[in-house]
Amino acid sequence: MRLPSKNNPLVSDINVTPFVDVMLVLLIIFMVTAPMMVQGVDVSLPETRNSNQLSSEEDQLVVTIDKDNQIRINDYAVGFDSLKEKLEKIFENRHSRAVFLKADKRIAYGRVVEVMSAIKGAGAEKLGMVTRPSEKPETP
């Protein structure tokens, strides 16, 4: 950088230091907030000893019942009365009729069975239950 002199009072160079500072601050903010933007419904899943991983070949259809008895298809909230017809519409455009059910362990068993019945009534060919692997060691 040149300092202004009596012969040339104007500086024609652009000072990019403030621009770089602002960009670094924005980058840091983005890096800190991006991991917090995880989407999904908080469900306390029951634990099992033998659980298989979901295959990720195709976009999975997951029905979730959270602790407040709210039902969701993937991330979209639906009422119990409209669950069957929404699933029927989804199955019209899908080649796979597999559904995974995530239910909070505090939900009454009867409610889970009602939702399972609605899913089967909509035409689901496969219905899988999503569980969390047990952290306790197996005992023989």
CATH no. for 47-133: 3.30.420.270
Report the phi/psi class of residue 69: left, alpha or beta, with left for phi > 0 and alpha for psi in -120 to 50.
left
> Mind listing the pLDDT tens digit of every residue in the chain (140 residues)?
556 666 666 767 778 888 999 999 999 998 888 877 655 555 566 666 665 555 545 578 899 999 888 999 988 899 999 999 999 998 888 888 889 999 888 888 899 999 999 999 999 888 888 877 767 665 55
Sorted by sequence, the CB contacts under 8 Å of residue 66 that are 6+ apart come out as 41, 42, 43, 72, 104
Q: What is the pLDDT of residue 70?
A: 92
Dist. CA 86–CA 103, nearest whole Å: 19
Write down the pLDDT at residue 117: 92
Please check whether residue 127 is in contact with residue 119, taking contact to mean a CB–CB distance below 8 angstroms: yes
Provide the pLDDT for residue 129: 85
Report the DSSP pairing between strands 47-48 and 132-133: parallel
Where are the domains positioned within the chain? Answer: 47-133
